[in-house]
Copies of this chain bind each other. A is one copy, B any other.
């Protein structure tokens, strides 16, 4: 097991109607004037925003609102948020929405106490030294941003998608009410579920051996998803299944399922170019990329893929031919994605084979290699995209 540090100080507040507690938690973490940051009209129409405001009012906490966060959140709104916060003297950012909204809130939190351009911290390796405190009221189980130290923003000029991370932008608290996810369309639910599973798989495929505890924790989350996601696709109002998925989504990405060993993250990076270029949902892109990546790399460690097949998808181990079991596991994963309504190839996603050179170019590897389970060249990435073009069941 590699040496590691694990730190997850976010206070998670889970369950029915917990958004009514958010004023209390903003107060606990020192917020006196809050930016409520949200997405589209659903938080308004559902009455969620009103409940959040009422909860802040009850504690005598002032606030201003900034809506309009889109999926693949843009730098333009972040700049707007930073200006607004500076003008209004905001000392706490409260995100009411999904992962995009949280990532945008984190970017604003970084930008307010910084004199330069917040984009300096994204994909450029500049270390974050200060940030406003962030809290979240989560409305979709997916990104895990509610418990993570990371944020991904898209630069509108060129649709460049880049990330940053620091313990300073871990949310102080995150309110997780599974009821809020019951009104999500099936497609968005499935996109979120795919993202959650991908967060675990990026950690499951490691080159560090003998870390049984992390393996088993990964499998715990994946087994939960395999059981619960079809139940919410079947019945969107199934609170228990929604609750399992929501908590699994948080645990999948606060790194407890990743400690003590190397991780991968190539599928995420390869996907980011797809959702950057076509503005498709990140989860949908992952459904197309991840099995295609698995097909490309499985020979690097056949037994690990066989383990996935047996332990997560319940395949019988083929002891005479472990490779057959490995491939069966990848097939099962893709079939699962199809069954929950995800695209599984370029065509279904709305991506084009002829754009592959552009996608590879934007990834910016040049003649270099990625890090990860298998280090990939630009040519390898092109082949993974081709696997995704050809994918079928």
- A interface residues with partner B (beta carbon < 8 Å): 1-9, 11-16, 18, 178, 210-213, 216-217, 219-221, 223-224, 227-228, 239-241, 243-244, 247-248, 251, 256, 259-260
Contact = CB atoms under 8 A, between A and B. Distances in A.
Per assembly, the copies of the chain total: 2
A244 B14 contact: no
Contacts of A260: 14, 243, 247
A14 B9 contact: no
Contact of A12 (B5, B12, B223): B5
A259 B247 contact: yes
A308 to B, nearest CB: 15
Nearest to A167: B11
A211 to B, nearest CB: 7
Nearest to A211: B244
B1 A5 contact: no
B14 A5 contact: yes
Nearest to A241: B210
Contact of A210 (B13, B221, B240): B240
Contacts of A241: 210
A224 B3 CA distance: 19
Given A217-B220, A217-B251, A210 B244 contact: yes
A224 B212 contact: yes
B8 A13 contact: no
A213 B221 CA distance: 6
A353 to B, nearest CB: 39
B212 A216 contact: no
30 contacts: A1-B15, A1-B240, A1-B243, A1-B247, A3-B16, A4-B15, A5-B11, A5-B13, A6-B11, A6-B12, A8-B8, A9-B9, A14-B259, A210-B240, A210-B241, A211-B240, A211-B243, A212-B223, A212-B224, A212-B228, A213-B224, A213-B248, A213-B251, A216-B219, A216-B220, A216-B221, A216-B224, A217-B220, A217-B251, A247-B259
A212 B219 CA distance: 12
A259 B228 CA distance: 17
A101 to B, nearest CB: 22
A212 B256 contact: no
